[in-house]
């Protein structure tokens, strides 16, 4: 039993939650894109002007970041398209696919390019000691660009954290640290942008250290080492983001807080004597596929249909910030058949 068009049929039940969701939806991605366009242009100019390996790596990093946000915005827009027969549960997971593409292609390729260019410069400097002499004025200009970029990237991370906090407040999730939120969030956009901004600040720290040491010791080798570290940071970040977005793409269940709320809503519904099994999967950050098997107090078809309707209203009322596709199957409790299922529920 269930309703194929739950998302539309009960739009009014979740109207308030969806309006709250739309308030800052995508704000972190837009803020990050706006900041990164200016940062990428400044870094690229500094890299051309100074010849700094660290600035070249940072330029590639920021270009990858800009591409990241553009791909995420395209994925977000595509996920809202109306579905067809080939995709019965919608195109929500396009967001997760976009995040995975960002991780495996843009970040990794950008990191590999930055690393290879830095290695080439290190080899050239070691082979020809004359190349070690640093142009302090040019590198000082690059250091200024690094400082300004750090301020802009810090603002982007602040916007991401603010959106994460709003998300936790809206879904009544206990507040947690950024790293724990990143591990638990089902939002491909927030996961990508938080990772991107964090990597950017770490990369800028390495770039700034490399340039600063090059100025202090009048040795271009330090600048090249800074560029190498930026590339390695990008590669490490791509692997972490690939793991996170890949897990979302494969399909993650709801978090424990949400699961407990669903179980409470189902078991407190009049007519339900036992929850036999429950399976959930996030189709997107705010869209959940919920499959239930319950035991009702009467083995009567009309009574079961009425109970199923009550269950759906109860779940949506308890968690109005989510859109549910709900399927319920009334059944009879059999200890040997439902032992494992009850443990999972």
Give the model's pLDDT for residue 30: 73
Q: In the chain, which segments carry CATH 1.20.1510?
A: 6-250
Give the model's pLDDT for residue 24: 47
3-state secondary structure of 233: helix
Q: Of 31, 24, 2, 13, give the one whose Cα is nearest residue 193.
A: 31
Give the model's pLDDT for residue 327: 93
Q: Which letter does DSSP use for residue 107 in this model?
A: I
Give the model's pLDDT for residue 102: 75
State the fold for domain 6-250. Answer: Alpha-lytic protease prodomain-like (1.20.1510)
3-state secondary structure of 26: coil
Structure tokens at 38: 């200016």
Cα(278)–Cα(272) distance, integer angstroms: 14
Give the model's pLDDT for residue 134: 62
State the fold for domain 256-344. Answer: Alpha-Beta Plaits (3.30.70)
Cα(330)–Cα(335) distance, integer angstroms: 16
Give the model's pLDDT for residue 340: 53
The DSSP line for 115-161 is HHHHHHHHHHHHH-GGGG---HHHHHHHHHHHHHHHHHHHHHHHHHH
Q: In the chain, which segments carry CATH 3.30.70.1350?
A: 256-344
- Cβ-count burial 299-324 (b if 16+ within 10 Å, e if not): eeeeebeebbeebbebbbeebbbbbb
Cα(35)–Cα(57) distance, integer angstroms: 18
Q: What is the pLDDT along the chain (345 residues), one digit of tens a residue?
A: 444 444 444 444 444 444 444 444 566 677 777 777 878 888 888 888 877 777 887 787 778 777 777 877 777 777 776 666 677 777 778 888 888 887 777 677 778 888 888 898 889 888 887 777 767 777 888 888 889 888 888 888 888 888 888 888 888 888 888 888 898 889 888 888 888 888 889 988 998 999 899 888 888 889 889 889 988 988 888 888 888 988 988 889 999 889 999 999 999 999 898 899 999 999 888 899 999 999 887 766 666 788 889 999 999 999 999 999 999 988 887 776 555 554 454
DSSP β-ladder status, 287-296 and 272-282: antiparallel
């Amino acid at each position: 039993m269930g309703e194929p068009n739950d998302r539309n049929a009960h739009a009014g039940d979740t109207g308030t939650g969806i309006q709250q969701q739309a308030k800052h939806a995508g704000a972190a991605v837009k803020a990050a894109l706006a900041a990164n366009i200016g940062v990428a242009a400044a870094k690229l100019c500094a890299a051309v002007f100074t010849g700094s390996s660290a600035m070249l790596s940072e330029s590639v990093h920021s270009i990858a970041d800009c591409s990241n946000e553009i791909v995420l915005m395209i994925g977000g827009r595509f996920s809202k398209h109306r579905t067809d027969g080939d995709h019965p549960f919608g195109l929500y997971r396009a967001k997760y696919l976009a995040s995975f593409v960002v991780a495996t292609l843009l970040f990794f390729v950008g990191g590999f390019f930055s690393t290879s260019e830095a290695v080439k410069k290190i080899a050239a400097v070691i082979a020809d000691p004359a190349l070690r002499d640093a142009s302090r004025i040019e590198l000082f200009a690059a250091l200024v660009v690094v400082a300004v970029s750090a301020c802009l990237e810090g603002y982007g991370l602040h916007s991401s954290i603010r959106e994460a906090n709003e998300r936790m407040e809206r879904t009544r999730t206990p507040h947690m640290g950024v790293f724990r939120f990143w591990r638990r969030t089902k939002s491909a956009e927030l996961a990508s942008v938080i990772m991107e901004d964090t990597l950017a600040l770490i990369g800028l720290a390495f770039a700034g250290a490399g340039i600063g040491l090059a100025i202090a010791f009048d040795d271009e080798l330090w600048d090249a080492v800074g560029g190498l570290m930026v590339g390695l940071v990008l590669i490490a970040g791509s692997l972490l983001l690939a793991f996170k977005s890949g897990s979302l793409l494969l399909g993650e269940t709801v978090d424990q807080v949400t699961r407990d709320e669903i179980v409470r809503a189902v078991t407190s519904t009049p007519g339900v004597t036992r929850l036999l099994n429950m399976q959930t999967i996030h189709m997107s950050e705010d869209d959940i596929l919920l499959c239930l098997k319950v035991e009702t107090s009467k083995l009567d078809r009309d009574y079961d249909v009425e109970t199923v309707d009550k269950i759906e209203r109860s779940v949506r009322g308890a968690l109005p910030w989510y859109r549910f596709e709900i399927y319920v199957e009334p059944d009879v409790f059999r200890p040997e058949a439902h032992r494992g299922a009850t443990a999972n529920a």
